[in-house]
Structure 1
Amino acid sequence: MAKASTKTAAAADTPIFTPTPEAKAQATRSRIIALVLWAAAIVLELVAIFWVMRPSFDELAANHGFPQWRWYTLLAFIGVIGVLAMVGSVLWKKANHLDPASRKEPVRFFIQNQLGAFIALLAFLPLIVMIFMNKDMDAKQKNIAGAAGVIVALVAAVAGIDFKPLSQEQAAVESQVVTQLVGQDLVWWTAGGKVVHLCQGASDIQNATTTVSSGPVADAFAAGKEGITLLLGRELNQCSLPVPANLPDIEQWVRTARGL
């Protein structure tokens, strides 16, 4: 990875992040599985609309209304569609942390990182509309199924949102900053922590009660971490590392890369 001068980090050209072949391959696998799961969710939605919710005249007459078994089947479909949508979103977001998009392409960056939320809406909105428009269900069946659809749709949509998406620029900048401050691209993090640290001697690592991991910044992002701690001055002292004179510029460089 190209190194930028530390004397004017904020003004340095943004380095380029390229995922390793292994990370790229893992991201591709995760995206393929996510797309398959999302496709299955949409297929089940269509089955629910065009088969489960359309009983024959004989069934309606025999059951004096919408058959109860079809109603229970509809509720099961709603649950399964929600699970497929959410698992797909988790895999998709993990892939985006292995192989992130660039902020220089804002439309692609937004769509790629928030695609899970759009898929969740696509997998539920038509179904919810059809439930409330259904003339065969009684009011109780319609209200319960409709409420279940709305709740699961909201949960799936929120699960699909990446509130802090990773960009190529952020990954590159943070990897380079760690290399400049520590001497190598190596950070430490805990299973429950949101940020990563510069050394094993950092107080948050020393006081950890969960599993501690280490590796390059790219591995930390793949594990779902937000980036390096912004308490760099304190952590450099704890790690017995020199504090560069332009540390405020470096911290601002990281914030800018994160879109803060």
Structure 2
Amino acid sequence: MAEKKKVRVEAKAPARKKNDDGTAAPQTWEATPEAKAQALKLRIIAGVLWVIAIGLEIFTIVWALAGDKEFDTGKLWIVIGLVVVIGILSITGSFLWKRSNRLDPASEKDGVRFFVQNQLGAIVAVVAFLPLLIFVLADGNLSGKQKGILGGIVAVVLAGALWAGVDTENPSVEKYTEDDNIITLLHNDPNAEVVWTKSGKVYHVCDKVPAVNQESTDGTIYNGTTAAAQEAGKSRLTKQWKSEARVCGFGEDDIARVDRGLAANPSTRIDEDELGELDDEAPAASVTTTPSPVTTTPSPATSTR
């Protein structure tokens, strides 16, 4: 395989806040202004798609299913088409919403907002399809065969919309803060960079690891700060970062520094002062003293003769 080209990606990270005495103030990870703007745009588009989907659901119920209305084969096919369109709108909106959450995630501290923001696609899927399914099954104007066909299609599309809407990764400010701290501690540098590929979902420790040197869509390895990786849609650091660190030439002492740092500061970003303190607190190498052998020289025998 030909050697991959390497491209550096710039991202302007938010400035770290300072206390009155000039020292770094404790803070969590924060999305860049560009990422926030992109996330807002995606959320607006997703919201518009969801509103149209729910509007079509209401139209379908009122026009075809509510009240005592004749339901023939032609109307059946129109309703099936509407259900498919509602599904496409719901699923597309969910994918855009998930993408926005990776650019600008919620904090786990606000449990309700965290749940709703991450699972809103699934909530919308239920709102868009469950009433429709209930009306189909309760409609007395549909024959048993029509109920079976239409109810089955609605149920399948609902399942697909739920699958698209549920977010199993649940990105959060706290998780992003931890990933950022791992890279900072590992490199002993708050401005350390990571690498990723266009087709990958996560970012990696360095360009020596096998994951970024496999064939990819554009044959390129990108590098930049964790903020740049997240702007590119890479939602987190690989879970194999420790094994990657060894491949990249980091020693066990470097990995131990990460563990100490995360234990000492589990919730806010590591700054330069804390890096220095962690180095000062590093356990000294133990020295094993081997006792010198004692050599006994026998004294000459004394004759009494």
TM-score when normalising by structure 2: 0.70
In structure 2, the residue matched to 1:215 is: 224
- Aligned-residue offset at 1:126: 0.5
Which among 248, 253, 257 is matched to residue 246 of structure 1? 257
Distance change >3 Å, CA 77–CA 164, structure 1 → 2:
same
CA distance in 2, matches of 1:122, 1:16: 34
- Aligned-residue offset at 1:163: 0.2
Distance change >3 Å, CA 104–CA 54, structure 1 → 2:
closer
Structure 2 unaligned spans of 5+:
1-14, 18-24, 269-305
CA contact (8 A) 2:182 2:262 kept: no
- Aligned-residue offset at 1:210: 4.4
Aligned Cα root-mean-square deviation (Å): 2.8
1:197-238 CA distances to partner (integer Å, 9 max, x unpaired)?
111112222234444333332343455545223333432232
In structure 1, the residue matched to 2:207 is: 200
- Aligned-residue offset at 1:112: 0.6
Distance change >3 Å, CA 229–CA 14, structure 1 → 2:
farther
SS in 2 for 1:213: strand
Which among 150, 157, 160 is matched to residue 162 of structure 2? 157
- For structure 1, which segment, 149-158 or 134-143, has the greater mean C-alpha deviation from structure 2 after superposition? 134-143
CA contact (8 A) 1:175 1:185 kept: no
CA contact (8 A) 1:17 1:168 kept: yes
Q: How does 1:71-220 map to 2 (within 5 A)?
A: 71-182=76-187, 183=189, 184-211=191-218, 212-220=221-229
In structure 2, the residue matched to 1:9 is: none
Q: Which amino acid aligns with 1:246?
A: R
- For structure 1, which segment, 203-212 or 46-55, has the greater mean C-alpha deviation from structure 2 after superposition? 203-212
CA contact (8 A) 2:185 2:261 kept: no
CA distance in 1, matches of 2:242, 2:153: 50
TM-score when normalising by structure 1: 0.82
CA contact (8 A) 1:86 1:156 kept: yes
Distance change >3 Å, CA 227–CA 253, structure 1 → 2:
farther
In structure 2, the residue matched to 1:235 is: 244
Alignment length, in residue pairs?
241
The question of 1:36 aligning with 2:68 is answered no
SS in 1 for 2:223: strand
CA distance in 2, matches of 1:23, 1:14: 22
Structure 1 unaligned spans of 5+:
4-12, 61-65
SS in 2 for 1:83: helix
Q: Which has the larger radius of gyration?
A: 2
SS in 1 for 2:47: helix
Distance change >3 Å, CA 146–CA 14, structure 1 → 2:
farther
- For structure 1, which segment, 230-239 or 88-97, has the greater mean C-alpha deviation from structure 2 after superposition? 230-239
Q: Which amino acid aligns with 2:61?
A: I
- Aligned-residue offset at 1:67: 1.9
CA contact (8 A) 2:125 2:158 kept: yes
Identity of aligned residues (%): 37
CA distance in 1, matches of 2:237, 2:154: 39
CA contact (8 A) 1:15 1:173 kept: no
Moved beyond 6 Å, runs of 4+: 251-257
CA distance in 1, matches of 2:144, 2:222: 54
CA contact (8 A) 1:94 1:222 kept: no
CA distance in 2, matches of 1:162, 1:224: 15
